[in-house]
Amino acid sequence: MSLVTVQLGQCGNQIGGQLFNTVVEDAYGKGGLGCSKKENTLYQDAVLERFFNTEEPSGETRVSCSQQVLPTARAVMVDMEPKVIQQTIQESKKSGKWRYCEKAQFCQKRGSGNNWAHGYGHHGPKARDAVMDIVQREVEKCDRFGGFLSLMSLAGGTGSGVGAYLTECLREEYPHSFLVNQIVWPYGTGEVIVQNFNAALTLSHLYQSADAIIVFENDNLHKICSQLLSIKNISFQDINSVISQELASVLQPAASVDNGRTNSPGELLERLVPDPQYKLLNVRTIPHTSERALAFSSFTWPGLLKHLRQMLIANAGMEEGVDWQVKVHSRDRRLSSADFTSSLANVLFLRGKHCESTDISPFSDPRLYSSWVPRDAAFSVFRQQRPFHHYEKYASLLSNSQAPVGPLDSLVGKAWNMFASRAYVHQYLKYGIAEEDFLDSFATLEQVISNYSNL
Ligand code: GTP
């Protein structure tokens, strides 16, 4: 099963480059020492099939990173200015382990100026035909096409505006394919003055066209880098390493405990999005430790899973500083919805030695889940005995839960206030967006907030 990744704007391209690095480092790194040669080869082949094209145009086949011809990322690079795409391609060359197909890129000369409407109303339609041709070529290279993974930020103009537009085009041209969008939530303090407009417009559009939206928050990632990885001057590269690791931990090959199926997008969406009104997902992982510190750390499965469960119910983005006072109550005893974070569905990924013998029953506690989801459908587990990246044991939880409600509520509130004063609205209207489009977006997101609040 193969994924075609669509990298949009500065953020999407930078994360894409890092994601491909991470999956290759994982597949060809230390993890292989923790399993048999045969298991390792099967894993590496599955990673190649999932993320890379190993066919030369001439028909020559490459099967290993150690051979001279490198695997080519199944990626489409889109930006409205060339700089970031060029840098990302240069970085990939430095890795010496994989490469981009330089023909699979689309760029223009000028960015979207952090204006969603410029991206959505102007650049998007102009880029459509060329980008869809590249996409089609990438899809045709897959023997077993499993869906699209689009990477983008919410706050700029290209990732958000062109990204929202192209996701609609993908939905139109590939109506039966799975569309998963990974989005980066801007810093609360805000580098872009109109970020709440851009974010609200993007999210409301993606809500109509994507199958699932995986949310990463820059504020939370920043805390992981400073508090857990002890990084001093945190760069986007550091933050993107964390995103890539978390994302790879749910996308790298693993098998379902119930039926042995692999974690294809279709399989994950079936388990996580039982109703299209609820499609906001987030990932929590444990542990976050630098490679150097790992040599002095030891983790047990019960310890990791106890923390991960508490992170889920207390809505904590990382293991440090989790509020242990938050407890799960049965529904009739729940005092308010703020009590603990309720879920619609969770998928747990366990990677590393002896992961099959650990007790996962605390995650299937029915009190964690909304009452209308059938008990056996709300929680599933995928396992992979091969250690992940440089971790002996690694656990990840991909959740459809109430976690995004707080940030979404605050974002819509700020966007409303700015709209009420009509600040910057004229800059959007000149690219063909009407005031009603803002109002429709706010209404869509208010509905999402209300649905999740009532879980
Ligand atoms: P234009 O610049 O308007 O053409 O759009 P763009 O989509 O290229 O903008 P960009 O992706 O830079 O969007 C800005 C938002 O993305 C801000 O919230 C930044 O914090 C965030 N951002 C930019 N680059 C990165 C990155 O590499 N990683 C992360 N995590 N966030 C990024």
Single-letter code of the amino acid located at 128: R
351 CA → ligand 1 middle, Å: 31
**Distance between CA 324 and CA 302 in Å, rounded?**
16
Testing ligand 1's pocket by substitution, the residue of 6, 8, 10, 224 carrying the most ligand atoms inside 8 A of its CB is 10
Ligand 1, closest atom to CA 14? Answer: 27
Place 332 in a pLDDT band, splitting at 50, 70 and 90: low
Beta pairing class for 393-401 and 280-286 = antiparallel
* Neighbour-count burial for 253-276, b at 16+ CB within 10 Å, e otherwise: bbebeeeeebbbbebbbebbbbee
* Angle at 384 (CA atoms; ends 378, 390), nearest 5 degrees: 120
pLDDT, mean of residues 262-290:
96
pLDDT at 439 over 70: yes
Q: Would you state the pLDDT for residue 48? A: 97
What tokens appear for 59 in the block? 């028909």
pLDDT at 44 over 70: yes
Inter-CA distances, 19 with 75, 111, 172, 335, Å:
11, 23, 27, 42
Q: Would you state the pLDDT for residue 295? A: 82
Asked which of 53-57, 333-337, 420-424, 448-452 is least confident by mean pLDDT, the reply is: 333-337
Nearest CA to ligand 1 atom 9: 156
**Residues whose CB is less than 8 angstroms from the CB of residue 392 and which lie 6 or more positions away in sequence, other chains included:** 34, 299, 352, 353
**Distance between CA 409 and CA 14 in Å, rounded?**
28
Q: Would you state the pLDDT for residue 243? A: 98
Q: Would you state the pLDDT for residue 58? A: 46
Determine how many CB atoms are found less than 10 A away from the CB of residue 449. Answer: 17
Asked which of 109-113, 228-232, 271-275 is least confident by mean pLDDT, the reply is: 109-113
Sign of CA dihedral 431, 437, 442, 446: negative
What tokens appear for 5 in the block? 């990744």
**Residues whose CB is less than 8 angstroms from the CB of residue 97 and which lie 6 or more positions away in sequence, other chains included:** 24, 28, 65, 70, 71
Sign of CA dihedral 19, 21, 24, 29: negative
Q: What are phi and psi of 135, to 5 degrees?
A: -60, -45
Q: Please name the residue that has the structure tokens 């983790």.
A: 299
Q: Would you state the pLDDT for residue 59? A: 47
Indicate the average pLDDT of the chain: 93
Query: Which parts of 125-279 are beta strand (E)?
Result: 145-153, 179-185, 212-217, 255-256
Which amino acids bring their CB within 6 angstroms of ligand 1? 9-11, 14-15, 80, 111-114, 153, 155-159, 184, 186-187, 191-192, 218, 236, 239-240
Nearest CA to ligand 1 atom 16: 153
Inter-CA distances, 205 with 90, 120, 160, 181, 316, Å:
33, 10, 10, 12, 27
**Distance between CA 166 and CA 388 in Å, rounded?**
33
Single-letter code of the amino acid located at 166: L
**Number of residues assigned to the chain:** 455
pLDDT tens for 161-190 read 999 999 999 999 999 999 999 999 999 987
Contact present, 118 and 163 (Cβ < 8 Å): no
405 CA → ligand 1 middle, Å: 22
* C-alpha 287, offset from chain centre: 18
Nearest CA to ligand 1 atom 25: 11
**Residues whose CB is less than 8 angstroms from the CB of residue 280 and which lie 6 or more positions away in sequence, other chains included:** 213, 215, 400, 404, 408, 448, 452
pLDDT, mean of residues 35-63:
82
pLDDT tens for 101-130 read 989 999 998 888 999 999 999 999 999 999
pLDDT tens for 56-84 read 654 444 445 455 679 999 999 999 999 99
Inter-CA distances, 81 with 4, 10, 107, 371, Å:
22, 9, 6, 48
Nearest CA to ligand 1 atom 15: 155
Paired residues of 15 in beta bridges: none
Single-letter code of the amino acid located at 85: I
What tokens appear for 142 in the block? 């897959």
Ligand 1, closest atom to CA 195? Answer: 18
Ligand 1, closest atom to CA 81? Answer: 4
Global confidence as pTM: 0.95
pLDDT tens for 349-400 read 999 999 999 999 999 999 999 988 887 889 999 999 999 999 999 999 999 9
Testing ligand 1's pocket by substitution, the residue of 6, 7, 11, 195 carrying the most ligand atoms inside 8 A of its CB is 11
User: What kind and span of H or E run contains 443?
Assistant: helix 435-453
110 CA → ligand 1 middle, Å: 15
Asked which of 40-44, 213-217, 306-310, 335-339 is least confident by mean pLDDT, the reply is: 335-339
Nearest CA to ligand 1 atom 27: 11
